[in-house]
Amino acid sequence: MPLQGQNSVFGAAILILSAIVVGTVLYVSLFGVFNDSYLRVGMLLLGGLLVALSQLERAGGNLDRLLLIGTAIALGLGVFQYFRAAEEIETGLYFLSPTDIWLGALGLVGLIELTRRSVGAVMASVAALVLLYGAFGDLAPGFIRHAGVSAEELVQVLWFSFDGVFGRPMAAVVTTILIFILFGALLEMLTIDQVLVRLALAATGRMRSGPAAAATVASGLFGTISGSAVANVVGTGVITIPLIKKRGFSGRFAGAVEAAASSGGQITPPIMGAVAFIMADVTGVPYLTICAAAAVPAILYYGGLFMAISSSARRMELVQEPQKRIAFDWREMAQVAVFLLSLAAIVGMMIGGASPAYAGFVGVAVAALLGFALRPELLVNVAAWLKFIRSAGLISAQLIVIVGAVGIVIGVLNLTGVGLRFASLLSGLAEGQLALSLLLMALACLLLGMGMPTVPAYLIIVLVMGPSLQQLGVPIVHTHMFVLYFGVLSSITPPVALAAFAAAPIAGSRPMATALEASRLALPGFVIPFAFVYQPALLLGTGYGFWASMQAMLFVLLAVLLISRACYPDRGRLYMTPVALALAAALLFFGPLVGWVATAATVALTLFERSQRAPGGLPIEKS
């Protein structure tokens, strides 16, 4: 099928620029960075032009086209002025002229407008408001007032330095993360994503919850590669959501399962939607330590989803049905092996000391060599190659643009110091009380993360909220994982629940109802971050002993299962909800002695519940 705009001038330009992006990413991953300034600034220009061209393809009218062209010109002028003074900027001996200030400001405005075009008004509004705060914050009331920043200083930091738009997040994206965008696009080209969905359906077909469990497995597998929960929902949801509804679940529940499972991929190692590499860069903690720390909580998150789905199926009194056997030929099983071997190659290279970018290149190379050996016809499939190049280029462009907008936020917060003042205010409100601080932090993370993709949400939230947790003695990895979880869960939390809103049209359900159901399904995910703090040994590789880690895993596992069961209790047994929640709280928050007592009570409760069910697993009807 021909790609949209393939024969148009815009379509050809998009393909050319996308090919340049793909080639640059492969070169940097294999040979390293040739020049920091030219790479970061040049990739922003390429990304901005790609976004503008993709929007011009479907522009609604002449005014919209003129606005897009003006936006692209504004960004181009800002980049041109940067390149004109690049050598002096690198030496730190460059003083801005009025022309520099105006063109740099034009570049910032163009970037914000392209962000709006890429991911909507929420992220763009945040960047615009923060930029205005940097310029006029000396007029603001109360504690948020800053001492005042001149236009020259503001533009110098945000545009003509490595402390704003072109700072560390941009460096991490263009040198490390984009190769994994290519990896995901290549797997899609090789149709491995479709095989993973069918494999998940085959593995869970005999379960009572059937396709709902399959959606959880498939979305979790592909979500760890995808950098966007929304993209994951759209990619796998068109297959899984209709199957879940066919099994007897409501459209609301089907969409919620897909949204919750897709969001969980962003917290699942080894790639975690590319956040793992940014977290390693920001914290200075080795990538493999981040993966080890994230592993158990991710398993617990999906374990909670499985329990909630199974409990809902039991509550609906669905019976196990004989499922049609899904057959796999040798080629499909080999495609699954390609997926696993590619991931193993990435992790193996990292263990061997390779950089994340080079490890990603090796993963791409392994997937390409093995995948094309299995499907040699794809090597001469021009349409498939064009789709791959266009998809990889446009996804990369969107990520580059929104991370540039994040750089505006980071630059202003660092320049004015308001982030640290916000953390101090939060600590003052909680008066050193850890529990209250965590609750306020969680609420603030959900509010700040609403409407944003995972990467910018994590970066902004951890900059603003992270210091207050560390002031209370929470270790750095635990702090960043806490922030990441709530940043990810904001995608299913009303009122702005992007993943749930993307699933609702596919499921034919109301968006807000779908978001509420997704939050209910994923409720253990909202509790697990608190467990990081109260059961710190849960995060492996962070310095705790074997038995402490085993105890923490047991307590949190039982708490997660209890919370999931409490959300979907058997009919006629609503009294189990407060009992299960009380036991979960005892397991998590009141020390080892209370935890072991609660463990014994949980085992007794489980045995009692089983005794109240018929042999098929459904509740015994009371006469």
Higher pLDDT, 475 or 471: 475
Give the model's confidence band at 232: pLDDT under 50 very low, under 70 low, under 90 confident, else very high.
confident
Mean pLDDT of all residues in 424-447: 75
More confident residue, 74 or 329: 74
Give the containing element (helix H, strand E) for 557. Answer: helix 546-567
Residue 70: per-residue pLDDT: 92
d(CA 181, CA 354): 19
pLDDT of amino acid 5: 42
Task: Find out whether 307 and 561 touch, Cβ atoms under 8 Å.
Answer: yes
Checking if the pLDDT of 7 tops 70, the result is: no
Instruction: For 428-461, give the DSSP string.
Output: HHHTT-HHHHHHHHHHHHHHHHTTS-HHHHHHHH
The listed range with the strongest mean pLDDT (6-10, 393-397, 573-577) is 393-397
Quick: pLDDT tens for 8-59. Answer: 788 889 999 999 999 999 999 998 888 888 899 999 999 999 999 988 877 7
Amino acid at position 540, single letter:
L
Which stretch of 70-84, 425-439, 489-503, 538-552 has the lowest confidence by average pLDDT?
425-439
Task: Extract the runs of DSSP E, i.e. beta strands, from 203-265.
Answer: none
> 182: which residues sit within 8 A by CB, 6+ positions away?
22, 25, 26, 360, 364, 392, 396
Q: What is the mean pLDDT of residues 272-298?
A: 85
613 has which bridge partners? 619
pTM score: 0.77
Interior CA angle at 203 toward 199 and 209, to 5°?
Answer: 115
Residue 469 pLDDT > 70: yes
At 175 the pLDDT is 86
Which single residue is written with the structure tokens 């994040």? Answer: 406
In which element (H, E) is residue 494 found? none
CA–CA separation, 258 vs 237, rounded Å?
6
- Tokens linked to 60: 């609604």
pLDDT of residue 423: 65
pLDDT, greater one: 561 or 463: 561
- Give the confidence band of 6 by pLDDT, cuts at 50, 70, 90: very low
Give 121-138 pLDDT, tens digit per residue: 877 888 899 899 988 888
3-state SS assignment for residue 613: strand
| pLDDT score for 615 | 54
Mean pLDDT of 257-281: 82
Q: Do the Cβ atoms of 287 and 350 come closer than 8 Å?
A: yes
Range picked from 90-94, 240-244, 551-555 for highest mean pLDDT: 551-555
Least confident of 2-11, 285-294, 521-530: 2-11
CB count within 10 Å of CB 182 equals 27
Q: How high is the mean pLDDT of the chain? A: 83
> Residue 590: which of 535, 517, 509 has the closest Cα?
535
DSSP-derived 3-state class of residue 472: coil
How far is 272 from 274, CA to CA, in rounded Å? 5
Angstrom CA distances, 438 to 6, 282, 466, 486, stand at 51, 21, 11, 11
3-state secondary structure 90-110: HHCCCCCCHHHHHHHHHHHHH
- Neighbouring CB atoms inside 10 A of 127's CB total 26
* Percent of the residues in the chain that have a pLDDT greater than 90, as a whole number: 25
Point out the least confidently predicted range of 164-168, 458-462, 519-523, 572-576: 572-576
- Any long-range contacts for 581-588 (C-beta under 8 Å, 24+ apart)? 583/558, 583/559, 584/527, 584/558, 584/559, 584/560, 585/559, 587/555, 587/556, 587/558, 587/559, 587/562, 588/527, 588/530, 588/531, 588/534, 588/535, 588/555, 588/556, 588/559
So what's the pLDDT on residue 445?
80
C-alpha–C-alpha distance, residues 426 and 324, integer Å: 56
Contact 337, 590 (CB under 8 A): no
For 492, list phi and psi in degrees, rounded to 5.
-125, 5
Q: Tell which wins on pLDDT, 540 or 193.
A: 540
Alpha-carbon gap, residue 598 to 311, rounded angstroms: 21
Q: What span, in angstroms and rounded, lies between the C-alpha atoms of 306 and 300? A: 10
Min mean pLDDT across 98-107, 242-251, 405-414, 449-458 is at 449-458
Q: Tokens 């990435």 correspond to what residue? A: 346
Nearest residue to 466 (alpha-carbon basis) of 283, 252, 245? 283
Lowest mean pLDDT among 172-176, 228-232, 351-355: 228-232
Residue whose entry in the numeric block shows the structure tokens 């800002």: 78
Residue 21 pLDDT = 94
What confidence category does residue 323 fall into, taking pLDDT thresholds of 50, 70 and 90?
Answer: low
> Do residues 309 and 211 lie in contact, with contact meaning Cβ atoms separated by under 8 Å?
no
Tokens matching residue 598: 């609660």
Instruction: Output the six-digit token pair for 270.
Output: 């080894």
Instruction: Give dist(CA 494, CA 380) in Å, integer.
Output: 46
The pLDDT value given to residue 126: 84
Say which range, 71-75, 165-169, 361-365, 456-460, has the weakest mean pLDDT.
456-460
The stretch 580-589 carries a mean pLDDT of: 92
Q: Which of 65-74, 208-217, 570-579 has the weakest average pLDDT? A: 208-217
